[in-house]
Structure 1
């Protein structure tokens, strides 16, 4: 059953929580996705069957949480993640970050590494507002962003276009993780599909090269797309969590 946490600046954060043994697992979803997605629901079932504590939630402006998506930015969603982890979990957690959730999980790891038992990312997209959106904008789109504060981009995942705001771009620059040291002092498993049209495979290699840690592995899945939600891909996510938990327990 969906519950709500009073989050930063009065934002109302929707979440679903399953009790169980620790370390718990926390799922962090992607840009404009929500906690009803296939990976989030599969992981909740995975956790229930194992008696493992599990938490999924919606960032503000996403899913059942309060706020308008167009008014949000990486820093807001990062603060939402900190609030639910601090307020709704106990002890070390394994974070599972999908796409934008991978970026946010890295921000969480940098802020409170003592609360992480491990990290699993799926098509992680760190710094995507700069490396993806801004780098891909035409001169006309950059001018429109400066003048009107927003541009619209077509979406492969929704009928309506993505609205990209100037605040999203500028705030993203305040939360980059690939421009400074990124120590990850716990087991880390990066998962990436080679047919991902949204997050280039090279980004996964860049992240592996940039981050530091003693137990860090990247798994490339030939032909897997950005959704990474086929039965085989979902099983790989579960296996990666098991690997991390085996090191933590």
Structure 2
């Protein structure tokens, strides 16, 4: 029932800001599934592949891509900002057709909300539903900057970046001043968040990176649209265990059928 994946690249930006974005699209029927990775994750991660497998088994179109500085895409990770990655998401979304279920993990959850807002501001209401996994909304302010130690703040002031050890790989996470400052342009918790579509949130109760309180804060800002929050008490940030991936695929099934 599945169609072969079509790997392509999309050029985003101009001049020195131009970068090649690696995209994998599986042709199929609507609604399509549009996947947004987390910070320092790529489109070959277990959740991204679970989304693709769901679409492949049911003949649905699936779109995945790597942000600049991630995976197979061009560009320098240290140049990465929310604005830059949002621009790439919009460019890739423009290559899709028909209604889309947009799924975002961690930072990708924030980008999913920003993508939907930008589209609806343009009169494009093709986002059928948002599925957010441990959504790191306003992460640069609430989940990065607010947690820095005095030593890390000194590093940011003197060196322009902060390095933090990662429990998900050998390389440290690097947070630049450019990323943090740009994030302030995209904060959503300063008012009501209007999505114009249903929102499903999957949240781990033992997530050290995006705590469950953060998901509850998001729910408190979604006042006018249907919201389903599933709290997984023993779930971590990744939510990549077989039972977690099944929950994700079940959520896709409900969104597609809705």
Q: Same fold, TM exceeding 0.5?
A: yes
User: Aligned residue for 1:65?
Assistant: 73
Which runs of structure 2 are paired with 1:216-231 in the superposition (5 Å)? 216-231=227-242
Q: CA deviation at 1:2?
A: 2.9
1:201 to 208, 212, 223: 212
Q: Contact 2:205/2:232 (CA < 8 Å) preserved in 1?
A: yes
User: Aligned residue for 2:99?
Assistant: 92
2:113 to 102, 106, 114: 106
Q: Contact 1:186/1:213 (CA < 8 Å) preserved in 2?
A: no
Gaps of 5+ in 1: none
Question: Distance between the aligned counterparts of 1:199 and 1:56, measured in 2?
Answer: 23
Which runs of structure 2 are paired with 1:35-46 in the superposition (5 Å)? 35-46=43-54
2:41 to 33, 36, 43: 33
Q: CA deviation at 1:143?
A: 2.4
Question: Distance between the aligned counterparts of 2:214 and 2:224, measured in 1?
Answer: 18
Q: Contact 2:101/2:131 (CA < 8 Å) preserved in 1?
A: yes
Partner SS, residue 186 of structure 2: coil
Which runs of structure 2 are paired with 1:118-157 in the superposition (5 Å)? 118-157=129-168
CA RMSD of aligned residues (A): 1.1
Question: Distance between the aligned counterparts of 2:240 and 2:163, measured in 1?
Answer: 27
Question: Distance between the aligned counterparts of 1:226 and 1:143, measured in 2?
Answer: 28
Q: Does 1:115 align with 2:120?
A: no
Question: Distance between the aligned counterparts of 2:130 and 2:228, measured in 1?
Answer: 11
Q: TM-score, normalised by structure 2?
A: 0.92
Q: CA deviation at 1:122?
A: 0.5
Q: Deviations over 1:31-78 (max 9, x none)?
A: 000001001111111100000000010000100000111111111111
User: Aligned residue for 1:213?
Assistant: 224
Gaps of 5+ in 2: 1-5
Question: Distance between the aligned counterparts of 2:154 and 2:133, measured in 1?
Answer: 33
Q: CA deviation at 1:140?
A: 2.7
